[in-house]
Structure 1
Amino acid sequence: MRNLINKWNQMSLVKRIIIGLIIGIILAVTIPDTAKPIVIFGSLFVGALKAVAPILVFFLVTSAISQHKSGQQTNMKSILVLYLLGTFLAGLIAVVASFIFPITLTLGAVAENVTPPGGVVDVLKALLLNIVDNPVKALFNANYIGILSWAILLGIALKNAQQTTKIMIVNVSDALSQIVKWVINFAPLGIMGLVFDAIATQGLSALLSYGQLLAILVGCMVFVALVLNPIIAFVCMRKNPYPLVFKCLKNSGITAFFTRSSAANIPVNMKLCEELELDKDTYSVSIPLGATINMAGAAVTISVLTLAAVHTLGIQVDIGMAIILSVLSAISACGASGVAGGSLLLIPLACSLFGIPNDVAMQVVGVGFVVGVIQDSCETALNSSTDVLFTAVAEFAKRRKEGKKIEI
């Protein structure tokens, strides 16, 4: 037994997750009633990630800001531009793909106990209120916008604190990062429970019935990851971007796909940045920030599902409206973490651009929840891996301008 455990621990996390995935599918298809108790593994795994992720982001950002020395150069401006540009272009690609491959939905699914924002003003108002939310309440409700704002303010306030205080904060952030790594090591059991629950309750046919919608959603995200992001990276670095792109997808994207949490994937991204020998003063801020506002996957989800509703109702859309939808998707996606329900609940807001009734829009949200098993995983994988990619691209572009050699 000990040898078996040692061999299991020696396997890569990805291989262990795949084994858990396969076992979950087999149990759900063959003995769903007998194996029902394993659902608790998925609930425990998700619960642990949700519990530790908010406080992890808070201490990581506070630590990074407080340790920053005045006059030290960072690439935060470049990274922020890349985050926003990438999110906007992802939404635009999703709009174009939806026009080339129009999708119609069979509406009827109902999303309950959710309250979408009423308009752009409501989204911006909620975003501003989330920024000044009570810090304890922000941690409790996982309001990452509020967590980020308080962490930045506290970090700035602690810049002149004694070194021992700063060391204590660093130690706490390191300890929280270690806890997240421990939790992620239980991912195979968690994934087994989550997959079993999804298939046992919804069935494989429920997912396959939305195959065309999933194909567009996943296809757009794959296009962003393998075409759009490499183009942006090449323009900045003037170097073959694919070794870096594939490294980010392998080391960050795969774990994010299964954990379905950009915040929980922060320690994985920080470790990857360290392996790429990036400036710690930069990535210690850009990675937690990216987990909050770098939401290319969310922009794709909002655009595709909104236009699916538009095509279903036979509404005509011109180029101007399509561009406005891309901008709105990008802005909404950046604030998705501060809105209960994430990117799916911002679909009614986008639908309101085309005069789609709220009850119909909420049915589209219901469809989103059905395909969310796959959509949310792909969305998180794209978002999280892009955090590292753009952080690295900004630094490598700086090194190129300085005449330094770029090694990936």
Structure 2
Amino acid sequence: MARGAGSSVHSPYSIMRVTPLLLALVLVGCDSGGLEAGEPFSYATDGTDSAVDVVQAPNGDLVVTGSTEGVQRPADGTLALPTVLRFGLDGELTSAEVYRDLGFGSVQGVALVDGGLAIAVSAGPDDPGATEVTVYLTDDEGRRQNVVLRPDAGFTQRSNVRVLDDGSVAVAVYAATVTSPQLYLLRPDGTVVWSERLANVQDILALEAAPGGDLYVLGSGSQGSTITRVSGADGSEVWGAVRPSSWTASSLARTASGLAVLESNPAEATLRVSRLCEDGARLSTATVVQLDTEGESSRSLNGTAIEALSNDRVAVAWVESGPSFQTPPDAYVAVVGLEVESAARFGERGRWAAVNALQALTDGRVAAVGEAGPEFIGGFGGDDFDVRVTLYDVD
């Protein structure tokens, strides 16, 4: 399935077998009180609806961003509209802003700023060359107030906006050229402090606040996955580390002990959490799940999100794909300390689903947001997916 401009494309994940030990860990999490899922709530239209990022507002509400009202693109893919949704923790939808004037696309990232939100929108007409990235300051319901950044780039990675310890806002974009900036730091009022391109980083995959107003950056390049600590003062590199070539990093979270990185090994169909010190030195690793791929090379794992929890634990999300495009994926959320403590399914068995972001809540739970769809998809875009939010009790 090809990606069209402003598309919300769902990868062909499907069911896999898991090694007996790790399967037992997953089932214990699903059937016991270790990771109890609340009743999910959703936002649905007649088209494709997808959630890609989430933050918790000061009053406890969830602000969920993504796209809505998606239809099949004339050629292939999904044309949808950027949206900001706000839910109470009881599942009530309290507001829904849809940016119809911006064209097709998605609100790819959101962060809390004083009095409202900073959001990054990638949108435009059905023409990849005309898509624009725009960062807005909005009120707490997503109503746009000011444009603070419009870099020369057409696409952004999801969860690409982060607020640092000093209140400044970091934004990552796909650079327009090999010399264009990929990373921007803004003051809370939108003033650009600096813009930089990182050495040996082709694309920025994730951002996370680092101590002292610095920034952790997860990137990909010719050497594989990289993690860089960037100075918040001037954008210079404090240190950089290349991850092992056999492992692909997809997300990272700041923890009490340093940094946690979600990594997968495609050859071994293994997902793990690696823990690093603040200086990038490795502390430990914990295997989350390993699939039995004997005789079936197309089986794979895709880690999608990681979030820091209390007691130096993390929540992680992943999907499992298999050899058949028409077989729906299995999506999971797990709590990981020194090892996997518990896990639970996201969505319903036999239906398409994906977790795209996690948010630790002030009441001790964790919110998983993403999308849930039908048993079968057409494969050409515009399928009936709905925004899905599930709250898990992790204690």
TM class by smaller structure: under 0.3
| Structure whose alpha-carbon radius of gyration is higher | 1
Query: Structure 1-normalised TM-score?
Result: 0.26
Higher strand residue share: 2
Give the TM-score of the pair, scaled to structure 2: 0.27
